[in-house]
Amino acid sequence: MLVTQQKTLRRFWYAIMPMARLASGPQPFTLLGEPIVIWQKSDGSPAAVRDRCCHRTAKLSKGFVEGDHIVCGYHGWQYDCRGACVKIPQSPGNTIPPGAKVDAFHCQEKYGYVWVALEDPLKPVFEIPEHAAPGYRCIQQFDVRWQTGALRLMENSFDAAHFAFVHKGTFGQFQAQKPEFFEIRETDYGFEAETRLVINNPPASHRITGSTEPTTRRHFRNQWHLPFNRRLGLSYPNGLEHLIVTCATPIDDAHIQILQWLYRNDSEADCPASELNDWDLRVIAEDKEILETVDADAPVDVSRRMEQNMAADQPGLIMRRRLLALLQAHGEQEVHRATAQA
């Protein structure tokens, strides 16, 4: 599926960047192939428009913020959060041509991140009860670009069959290639998957798991939220909770921005954020090495038989079926490399 060619995908919220980055001025981003610029208004809320001045096409992200407006760094044309040009410094009486505007996009802050929807969103941003719950701390982890597809990262996130091979350098057990328990339940937003399995617990992860035993049991309570968001809930026998939120934001057909943050029901003294981030970085580096070798154009219509499947692929197959049904419900078919070149 070529994500930039699927109009329905423009109708979802995507995490773009931490809000803190806006303090240094307008920030560029490419979402589903669309160049956008994001800035912070005087009330602290974010705004997003197309990153292209309607005067001489300069990037607005090269400009600056004045009050609630973004100012083009080329000739000083100003735009409000609706994309309307509101000031032309060189124009007597500030006369604005009727067509002086740029496309504006839905934009909001949630969980400390900027979220953007290119068109009217079909669903709100998913809820994370732990974000405001007492006893949990929130740690920002990653904001990195990978050369892979958003669906590839999502289905990998629910694929327990790769642990023994890809993650043999961290927690994977080669001799335990099947989970002790696995169950999946579809929901209106995607699905919930529950898994229990034994993992390796090397000394480097003792404070991560809260255990010094050579192995421990990990109870996964995970959620997939259409189209490309994951809530990965990990519980350990000692009651420790390690909840990861991962957003695979599609930049274009071959690249994603991974935004990930973490909730823990322990303290900085129990396990420093730096140690947690270092460990999870080791884990996702193992995923990155393999995922950047796969074809980003993952088929959602499995009847095309572009790939072979096995029983352990159930989560990914549900994702593909649900994504195809989403497209079809909005009058679309899957656009893939062969159809795009036809």
pLDDT tens sequence across 217-269: 667 789 999 999 999 988 887 888 899 999 999 999 999 999 999 999 999 99
Strand partners, 259: 143, 247
H or E stretch including 230? strand 229-235
pLDDT at 199: 67
Q: Can you give the pLDDT at residue 200?
A: 65
pLDDT of residue 173: 47
Check whether 202 has a pLDDT greater than 80: no
Two structure tokens written together for 195: 């898994």
Rounded to two decimals, the pTM is 0.91
Per-residue pLDDT at 163: 64
Give dist(CA 295, CA 24) in Å, integer.
36
pLDDT tens string 44-61: 999 999 999 999 999 999
Rounded CA-CA distance 229/246 in Å is 6
pLDDT score, position 217? 67
Q: Residue 174: what pLDDT?
A: 47
- Whether 97 shows a pLDDT value over 70: the answer reads yes
What pLDDT digit, counting tens, does each position of 111-124 carry?
A: 999 999 999 999 99
Q: HSE of 94 in the Cβ direction (CA atoms, 13 Å)? A: 7
Supply 187's token pair. Answer: 């929901």
- Is pLDDT at 335 greater than 50 in this prediction? yes
pLDDT at 109 over 60: yes
H or E segment and range at residue 326 = helix 314-329
Segment 123-140 mean pLDDT? 94
Q: What pLDDT, on a 0 to 100 scale, did the predictor assign at position 170?
A: 66
Instruction: Check residue 168 and give its pLDDT.
Output: 63
pLDDT tens digits, one per residue of 141-199: 999 999 999 999 999 888 877 666 766 666 654 455 466 667 899 999 999 988 777 76
Tally of CB atoms within 10 A around 9: 25
For residue 311, name the pLDDT band (cuts at 50, 70, 90).
Answer: confident
- pLDDT confidence band for 65 (50 / 70 / 90): very high
Q: How many residues does the chain have?
A: 342
Are the C-beta atoms of 210 and 238 separated by less than 8 Å? yes
Q: Which residues is 218 bridged to in the sheet?
A: 197
Predicted local confidence at residue 341, as pLDDT: 72
For residue 18, pLDDT beyond 80 = yes
Per-residue confidence at 282, pLDDT binned at 50, 70, 90?
confident
Let me know if 98 is exposed, middle or buried by CB neighbors in 10 A (0-12, 13-18, 19+): exposed
Mean pLDDT score across all residues of the chain: 90
For residue 17, the model assigns a pLDDT of 98
